[in-house]
């Protein structure tokens, strides 16, 4: 090996040249590495943004269609947030979230799977209010317990292409943990006690197991009632919250979301939309009254109970958005039913124009 003395000044210069080449090379290499890293992270962000846009398009199309169902391949984790604002985004793209403040999407707070199942049903009260979108996937197992009319109605209204089972209450205790992302037990209030008997599920898996108990007046999903949301914990199922519903569409929303926060947020949106539409129908009733033939006028605004009275009832009960009580929903249900009956009478027994 040559000593520094023997290399002289020329030797130093040659050594420094190599040093410069090394530093220069490292800088160039660093530049390209940072370029690739940036590109990779931008690509990820772009993919997430594209997925969010794709999902947005899918949902917008669903909003314009009626009573449809589709299964699409969507291999991304979707996160839903529904409180004072409503938004959804694909994991990793929170900044690119899409808002749905004025639309109703019933879904769990997270959806992670390959096949996304989208179902649209129209909510009527008694006129068409808005479409409901239900989002779920095959990695959530819905287990309907019991054979009552209510359970059968809800079971058959669930979307196709999802993981769904109908079991008898006595087999609930030994129901196996099939290791799905989530397992949701759906029960009629009469079978609520069977929830205590579940033993095959690990108590630490509380995040994966929920139960939805439906208490419907008259034992039918087409009436009104309460939906109770339960979470599985170390001491068995624990009640999170009970909230009211009207009709099969809302009950289905409670089951598919199996999340009281998302259900409540969407329920408030439904009531606000119903209140808004009722005001429009009230205005249209006034127009009918001033333009309809004289023999029809009393149906719209009359000395007896007319369309306007029922619409005012619906408007008043739908306005109390902060009071989501069963009593309020009972009144709302009867006002809706009465308007529906009156509209049917106008349509079938008279020559007068119906209100919707």
User: Using the rule CB under 8 A, is 127 a contact of other proteins?
Assistant: yes
User: Using the rule CB under 8 A, is 287 a contact of other proteins?
Assistant: yes
In the window 180-239, what residues touch other proteins (CB under 8 A)? none
Q: Closest CB to other proteins among 5 and 351?
A: 351
Identify whether the C-beta of residue 100 lies closer than 8 Å to the C-beta of residue 88.
yes
Q: Closest CB to other proteins among 120 and 163?
A: 120
Closest CA to 120 of 135, 109, 107: 135
User: Using the rule CB under 8 A, is 263 a contact of other proteins?
Assistant: no
Question: Which stretch, 23-31, 221-229, 249-257, 275-283, contacts other proteins (CB under 8 A)?
Answer: 275-283
Binding track, positions 84-123, relative to other proteins; x by CB under 8 A: -----------------xx---------------------
Q: Is 75 exposed, middle or buried (0-12, 13-18, 19+ CB in 10 A)?
A: exposed
Give the strand order in the sheet containing 86-90: 98-99, 86-90, 77-82, 110-112
Q: Closest CB to other proteins among 201 and 356?
A: 356
| Minimum CB–partner distance for residue 118 and other proteins (Å) | 16
User: Using the rule CB under 8 A, is 298 a contact of other proteins?
Assistant: no
Q: How far is CA 27 from the centre of its chain?
A: 51
User: Using the rule CB under 8 A, is 279 a contact of other proteins?
Assistant: yes
- In whole angstroms, give the CA distance from residue 261 to residue 348: 42
Among the listed residues 60, 83, 196, 203, the single contact to other proteins using CB under 8 A: 60
Taking CA 74 as the corner, what is the angle to CA 63 and CA 49, rounded to the nearest 5 degrees?
A: 80
| Minimum CB–partner distance for residue 284 and other proteins (Å) | 5
- Taking CA atoms, 132 is separated from 173, 214, 219, 303, in Å, by 34, 19, 23, 37
Question: Which stretch, 23-31, 37-45, 151-159, 282-290, contacts other proteins (CB under 8 A)?
Answer: 282-290
| Minimum CB–partner distance for residue 25 and other proteins (Å) | 20
Question: Which stretch, 10-18, 58-66, 168-176, 214-222, contacts other proteins (CB under 8 A)?
Answer: 58-66
45 Cβ contact list (under 8 Å, min separation 6): 92, 93, 96
Among the listed residues 50, 58, 63, 98, the single contact to other proteins using CB under 8 A: 63
**Angle between helix 307-319 and helix 260-291 axes, rounded to 10 deg:** 150
Q: Is 62 exposed, middle or buried (0-12, 13-18, 19+ CB in 10 A)?
A: buried
| Minimum CB–partner distance for residue 286 and other proteins (Å) | 8
Q: Is residue 192 left, alpha or beta, with left meaning phi > 0 and alpha meaning psi from -120 to 50?
A: alpha
| Minimum CB–partner distance for residue 344 and other proteins (Å) | 8
| Minimum CB–partner distance for residue 175 and other proteins (Å) | 41
Q: Closest CB to other proteins among 60 and 196?
A: 60
Identify whether the C-beta of residue 82 lies closer than 8 Å to the C-beta of residue 253.
no
Report the residue count for the chain: 356
Q: What is the DSSP letter of 353?
A: P
| Minimum CB–partner distance for residue 352 and other proteins (Å) | 9
The site for other proteins (CB under 8 A) is made up of 60-61, 63-64, 66, 101-102, 127-130, 272-273, 276-277, 279-280, 283-284, 287-288, 291-292, 347, 353-354, 356
């Amino acid at each position: 090996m040559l000593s520094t003395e023997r290399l002289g000044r020329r030797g130093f210069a040659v050594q420094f040249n190599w040093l410069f080449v090394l530093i220069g090379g490292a800088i160039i290499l660093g530049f390209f590495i940072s370029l690739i890293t940036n590109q990779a992270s931008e690509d990820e962000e772009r993919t997430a943004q594209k997925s969010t846009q794709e999902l947005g398009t899918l949902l917008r199309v669903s909003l314009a269609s009626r009573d449809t169902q589709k299964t699409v391949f969507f291999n991304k984790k979707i996160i839903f947030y529904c409180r004072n604002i409503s938004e959804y985004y694909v994991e990793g793209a929170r900044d690119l979230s899409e808002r749905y403040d004025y639309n109703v999407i019933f879904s769990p707070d997270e959806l992670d799977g390959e096949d996304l199942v989208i179902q649209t049903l129209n909510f009527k009260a008694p006129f068409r209010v808005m479409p409901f979108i239900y989002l779920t996937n095959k990695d959530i197992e819905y287990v309907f317990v019991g054979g009552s009319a209510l359970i059968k109605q809800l079971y058959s209204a669930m979307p196709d292409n999802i993981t769904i089972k109908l079991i008898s209450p006595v087999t609930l205790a030994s129901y196996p943990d099939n290791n799905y992302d989530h397992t949701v037990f759906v029960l009629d209030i009469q079978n609520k006690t069977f929830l205590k008997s579940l033993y095959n599920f690990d108590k630490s898996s509380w995040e994966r197991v929920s139960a939805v108990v439906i208490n419907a007046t008259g034992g039918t999903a087409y009436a009104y009632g309460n939906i109770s949301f339960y979470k599985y914990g170390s001491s068995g199922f624990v009640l999170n919250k009970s909230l009211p519903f009207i009709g099969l569409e809302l009950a289905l929303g409670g089951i598919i979301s199996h999340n009281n926060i998302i259900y409540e947020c969407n329920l408030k949106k439904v009531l606000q939309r119903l209140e808004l539409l009722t005001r429009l129908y009230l205005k249209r009733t006034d127009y009918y009254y001033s333009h309809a033939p004289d023999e029809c006028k009393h149906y719209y605004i009359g000395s007896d109970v007319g369309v306007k009275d029922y619409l005012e009832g619906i408007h008043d009960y739908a306005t109390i958005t902060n009071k989501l009580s069963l009593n309020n929903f009972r009144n709302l249900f009867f006002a809706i039913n009465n308007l529906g009956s009156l509209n049917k009478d106008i349509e079938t027994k008279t020559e007068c124009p119906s209100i919707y």
